[in-house]
């Protein structure tokens, strides 16, 4: 989910909005936008796996960041927006971009080794690990009984998915581990935005740090992970373009627009749709095995995420990743 920077306090909206623009609950337009965005993120998991057939995974991730950085530059020119505060967030920006780089090394290789279905369940378990860390590291984020129940259900679902015999045959233990590590890196990104000066940046500023650092880091690391080109064809180039334009750049900005208009807890509750839809797309488009046991694991994770992200006075919101 370029995955992008994340603002955990939507009260300070980056997008210029009037009070009339903000809403107290999700309406039909907001729900439609969130469903479309969740569907796009789920489809992106399939796109990454298909694109990996034409390009080396880490090289493809680096190309995606480079192309998305170009799209961001065009966006800034068209919107006549300036990146402010980049200099004063140098070290925290490097940390943000470094975590983003590591996340996508893990995620792209995971999708190369195991199935979209398994990666989606494990990667989108991030809210579980973020909630646990926040309980100990952030004031005001103590686990309530409802969030604890959600945590237990989601963790049970993750364990079930890891050991599901039917889907495990088509997967890879190393791929599963890397998907979990990518989820931990995503949680680190969320905490970095919460606890460092990058929280003062606009969404474009946070996205700039992630894309610029990851472009350099991923392309520099690519020779360590095998060949750059496998058997590239038009479909693989189209996959890179889709990721760069509709996910890693404009998709993230669209999500931030929704975060500025609607309550963050309501927006975050839609995060359960992405792993559910990704499992369905893996089965439908890639013929991945998805038996009753794996579906049960997916449901536990989805219900757990909803409980973790229920409306609270002040809680860590699950940042959307453009992966």
CA end-to-end span of the chain: 2
Question: In terms of residues, how long is the chain?
Answer: 323
Q: 284: alpha, beta or left, given left = phi > 0 and alpha = psi -120 to 50?
A: alpha
Query: Averaged in consecutive runs of 10 residues, what is the pLDDT profile of the chain (323 residues)?
Result: 39 42 79 90 95 97 97 94 93 97 97 92 85 80 82 85 74 91 92 90 92 98 95 96 93 80 71 84 89 82 78 48 61
| Extents of the domains making up the chain | 28-308
| Rounded Cα distance, 252 and 65, in Å | 13
Identify whether the C-beta of residue 187 lies closer than 8 Å to the C-beta of residue 31: no
| Rounded Cα distance, 251 and 123, in Å | 19
220: CB partners within 8 A, 6+ apart: none
Question: Which residues, listed in sequence order, are joined to residue 34 by a DSSP beta bridge?
Answer: none
* Residue 322, pLDDT score: 59
Q: Report CA dihedral (298, 301, 304, 308) to the nearest 10 degrees.
A: -130
Q: How far is CA 203 from the centre of its chain?
A: 15
Q: C-alpha angle with apex 223: 220 to 226, nearest 5 degrees?
A: 145
| Rounded Cα distance, 54 and 56, in Å | 7
Identify whether the C-beta of residue 314 lies closer than 8 Å to the C-beta of residue 174: no
**Burial (Cβ within 10 Å: 0-12, 13-18, ≥19) of residue 207:** buried
Cα→Cα distances 140→86, 128, 187, Å: 29, 17, 18
Helical ranges in the chain per DSSP H: 28-51, 57-79, 90-113, 116-123, 126-137, 145-163, 165-168, 173-195, 203-221, 234-242, 250-261, 264-269, 273-286, 292-308
* Residue 1, pLDDT score: 41
């Amino acid at each position: 989910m370029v995955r992008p920077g994340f603002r955990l306090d939507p009260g300070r909206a980056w997008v210029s909005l009037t009070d009339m623009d903000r809403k107290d609950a999700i309406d039909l337009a907001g729900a439609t936008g969130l469903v479309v965005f969740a569907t796009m993120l789920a489809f992106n998991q399939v796109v990454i796996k298909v694109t990996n057939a034409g390009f080396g995974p880490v090289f493809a991730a680096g190309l995606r960041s480079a192309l998305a950085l170009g799209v961001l530059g065009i966006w800034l020119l068209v919107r006549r927006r300036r990146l402010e505060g980049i200099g004063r967030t140098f070290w925290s920006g490097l940390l943000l971009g470094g975590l983003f780089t590591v996340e996508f090394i893990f995620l792209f290789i995971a999708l190369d080794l195991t199935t979209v279905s398994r990666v989606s369940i494990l990667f989108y378990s991030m809210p579980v690990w973020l909630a646990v860390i926040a309980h100990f590291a952030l004031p005001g984020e103590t686990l309530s009984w409802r969030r604890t129940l959600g945590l237990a259900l989601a963790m049970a679902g993750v364990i079930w998915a890891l050991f599901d015999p039917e889907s495990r045959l088509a997967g890879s233990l190393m791929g599963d581990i890397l998907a979990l590590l990518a989820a931990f890196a995503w949680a680190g990104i969320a905490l970095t935005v919460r606890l460092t000066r990058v929280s003062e940046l606009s969404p474009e500023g946070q996205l700039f740090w992630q894309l610029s650092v990851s472009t350099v880091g991923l392309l520099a690391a690519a020779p360590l992970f095998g060949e750059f080109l496998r058997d590239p064809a038009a479909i693989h180039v189209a996959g890179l373009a889709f990721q760069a334009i509709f996910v890693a750049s404009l998709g993230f900005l669209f999500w931030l627009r929704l975060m500025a208009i609607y309550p963050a807890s309501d927006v975050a509750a839609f995060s359960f749709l992405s792993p559910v839809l990704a499992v369905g797309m893996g089965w439908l488009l890639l013929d991945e095995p998805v038996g009753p046991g794996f579906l049960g694991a997916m449901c536990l994770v989805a219900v757990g995420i909803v409980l973790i992200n229920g409306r609270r006075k002040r809680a860590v919101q699950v940042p959307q990743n453009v992966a």
